[in-house]
Structure 1
Amino acid sequence: MKLTKWGYTRFNSIKAEFDHFPHSLVILRKIRNYYFINKIHWSHLDPVVETHHLEQMELLVNREMDLEENYLNRRLD
């Protein structure tokens, strides 16, 4: 999966689009020092989003924002 497009929204949020789900918009919110998926505006034109897809999306966005280390160490906090 690849992050195809992203941009900032209000309130420390990011909207993102991914190549596997081109018709669905993913909203991520900043929690502590990393971004976490808040909601998905899922389109019936895309496949069903599963848990492993969510984790991959979060990792890609945090990597793009240079927060990958914070995201990977989140369970230690």
Structure 2
Amino acid sequence: MDLTQPTSENVTFMIEKIKEKLRMVNVDAMKADNFSTSQYEDLVYIYEMVMKRDKITPNEMQAIAAELGSLRK
């Protein structure tokens, strides 16, 4: 997947992969429709950080969720 272009398809892909990796319980709060391409670089940064980690602590998960919450429309 080419994530260099800020498209809604790429936003959807990254959000879905982040949800899978974090095994998030409240998936309704993480709907891809809630994110726009205007903060695409920030979303890519979070996506790359989450994907390269083998383990994510509960505190890190909470911080990631908070950051994603701040990126929502």
- Rg comparison, structure with higher value: 1
TM-score normalised by the chain length of structure 1: 0.35
Larger strand percent: 1
Larger helix percent: 2
Q: Which has the higher contact order (CA 8 A, sep 6+)?
A: 2
